[in-house]
Structure 1
Amino acid sequence: MTSRTQGYLFVAITMCIWGGFTITSRLNALWHISAWDMTALRFALAFCILMPILIYRKDTAFLWKKEPFLLAMVGGVVYCLACYSAFHFVPAAHAAIFLNGCIPLCTALAAFFLFKQPFDRHTWISLVIMLSAITIMSLLMYEQTGVAFGVGDLLFFVSAICWGIFTVLLKQWKLSAWHATAGVAIWSAIIYLPIYLLFLPKQLDQASWSHLVIQSVFHGIFVVIIATLSYVEAIKRLGAFRAGSVVTLAPFIAALIAVPLLNEALSPAIVCGLVGMGVGALQPWRWFRYKDSLQRQLDRQNKTDSTE
């Protein structure tokens, strides 16, 4: 396969896993698996897989630096607890809006406040579109239910803030995909699991073993390890914008799949939010500039070849 074909293959793998994350996380509420339990299962399995590999490769020195620890606390423990908890309060469509839709915005805000990186024109356009969509959505929801936002929406937004900070720090510190993946999983397990075992409530007896195994394998292996590595490989072959734009579609597609699969309803307010946040996150107007740039490069290359 060509490098481009490989890139789209990695994108497809990442999309399937990220879309599955939305569906399976919502299933936790239906299968009576709490956020405390799911976070513990996720990092326990990832730790058991990754730590022996690091020891075998004699590649543990990076773990003692502050960067992996801080990334684990922000993008590991806090992100997972907030995200998994949110799915117990609201349907999957809310995750696409307040989590995945807000991640690009929260990433830009994190870059501005942490490292003084100014907003570009595309970010400002996205900001206007997203705020408009959320305002219209909140007005419609208030008319229908008397409540504009719920606890789950707030938790998803907190998750988006954590992931935005995580993304900016990861880019700034330039950790490799392997070290970032292993560091987050291992430090999250080291810090969270003792607290979970000693102090936090447990509801594992309320869920079936088959459900616990399914969720542990999917979130501990596919989400933590495979999706991270496949996404990085997709970026290497297609570029950050193209890979990121396509992959961002996954949670929005999952929100639509959840309607028949999980019997979740789509109100006009939710549809408005999905469309507005999707457009703001994907920034489709950049695709036209991207294609024009590729066409100009191709034209210059053809001109050079004909001259030679």
Structure 2
Amino acid sequence: MGLAMTMQQTAPRGRGIEGFAWAALAVSIFSGWFVVTRLAVVQSLEVWDITALRFGIGAVLLLPALFPRGRPLPARAWKEGLVFSMLWGVPFVLLVAAGLQLTSAAQAASIAPTAMPLFAGVLGAIFLGERHGRLRWAGYAAIVLGQAALILIGSAIHGLPDSGGILALLGAAALWAIYTLRFRGSLVTPIQSAALICFWSAVLFLPVYLAAGLSNLGSAPASEVVVQGLYQGVLMSAVAVITFNRAVGLLGPAAATGIIALVPVVASTLAVPVLGELPAPAEALAILLIVAGVLLVARPVRRPA
């Protein structure tokens, strides 16, 4: 009996460690994405090019996942994938890219990833009956306060951020949160979800992109196209989605999305050497408040025996 109890205690602990590892990898990729995408939209490429690279390359790369053992996924999975693509596909990327054009990498990384766990927590409590506990709600409050402080401090130092950019980023965060909650109850695997998102996004977006002549890929430097293609099409469309989905499956939506709120810490650090966007000391303190909130949100909630 004692051995059985030890095994039961060790299994959840092992799942938690594995979940945190997947989440850490996802955070690293997401953080770089804000910087890399910001770099693209202020140089040669447009939002449309970023979207085409992300889902066009991702769809080709992940196509085999849609035909396991040589047979297509069941119709239910394709329908679910279409819904996923509306949440974490083209609309999400376009909203974030628009926000990046109107703000900075640090501001965008501070708004979308930190608002997402709040949306996920509130929506999960309302619609799924999830219980978070006082410490987790305190974590959400710290994340919100840190986010508000970043915006206010940034406004005092750099001027008021564009309201349209903030709304676009909040809209992206809401879509991301809804996807996270829906995926937890999904029957598709993490890699199948990533493949379905890329497939439907490519099918819906690429014909419009090509027919309307929106491409700037031919006039952009080849090195820039290659870098964006690798990051958008491989790391973001495949690796990041799969690792994030694994984290959600192992940790649950609340903890996984809470860890994603660490993105502004990493993104702000990366933005210094890549974009020359140096956060002020007060902004750094606000980021530390967000980190404290993340630590509280990511703690597992103990259920009564």
Common fold by TM > 0.5: yes
1:219 Cα deviation after fit: 1.5
1:261 Cα deviation after fit: 2.6
Match of 2:103, SS state, is: coil
Instruction: Give the length in aligned residue pairs.
Output: 287
Match of 2:101, SS state, is: coil
* Alignment partners' CA distance in 2, 1:10 and 1:131: 24
Task: Using structure 2 for the length normalisation, give the TM-score.
Answer: 0.78
Are residue 16 (structure 1) and residue 28 (structure 2) matched?
yes
- Could you tell me which residue of structure 1 aligns to residue 232 of structure 2? 219
1:16 Cα deviation after fit: 3.5
* Alignment partners' CA distance in 1, 2:74 and 2:295: 40
- Could you tell me which residue of structure 2 aligns to residue 42 of structure 1? 54
1:128-173 per-residue CA deviation (whole Å, 9 max, x = no partner) reads 3234334444444444455255433322211111101111111233
* Alignment partners' CA distance in 2, 1:12 and 1:62: 33
* Alignment partners' CA distance in 1, 2:145 and 2:123: 21
Q: Cα RMSD (Å) of the superposition?
A: 3.3
* Alignment partners' CA distance in 2, 1:16 and 1:232: 15
Task: Using structure 1 for the length normalisation, give the TM-score.
Answer: 0.77
Alignment of 1:1-308 (within 5 A): 10=22, 13-55=25-67, 57-62=70-75, 65-112=78-125, 114-115=127-128, 117=130, 120-144=133-157, 147=160, 150-199=163-212, 201-233=214-246, 239-240=251-252, 248-268=261-281, 270-280=283-293, 282-284=294-296, 287=299
2:178 corresponds to which letter in structure 1?
I
1:194 corresponds to which letter in structure 2?
P
Worse-superposed segment, 179-188 or 5-14: 5-14
1:204-258 per-residue CA deviation (whole Å, 9 max, x = no partner) reads 244212211221122112222122333445567x745777666653542231121
1:201 Cα deviation after fit: 3.2
Uncovered stretches (5+) of structure 1, i.e. residues with no partner = 294-308
The structure-2 alpha-carbon separation of the partners of 1:147 and 1:15, relative to structure 1 and needing over 3 Å to count, comes to closer
1:70 corresponds to which letter in structure 2?
V
* Alignment partners' CA distance in 1, 2:288 and 2:169: 18
Contact 1:31 1:211 in 2 (8 A): no
* Alignment partners' CA distance in 1, 2:65 and 2:224: 27
Uncovered stretches (5+) of structure 2, i.e. residues with no partner = 1-13
What percent identity do the matched residue pairs reach?
24
Contact 2:268 2:279 in 1 (8 A): no
The structure-2 alpha-carbon separation of the partners of 1:147 and 1:179, relative to structure 1 and needing over 3 Å to count, comes to same
2:160 corresponds to which letter in structure 1?
V
1:14 corresponds to which letter in structure 2?
A
2:171 corresponds to which letter in structure 1?
V
1:48-92 per-residue CA deviation (whole Å, 9 max, x = no partner) reads 222245346313334664321111011111111111222222222
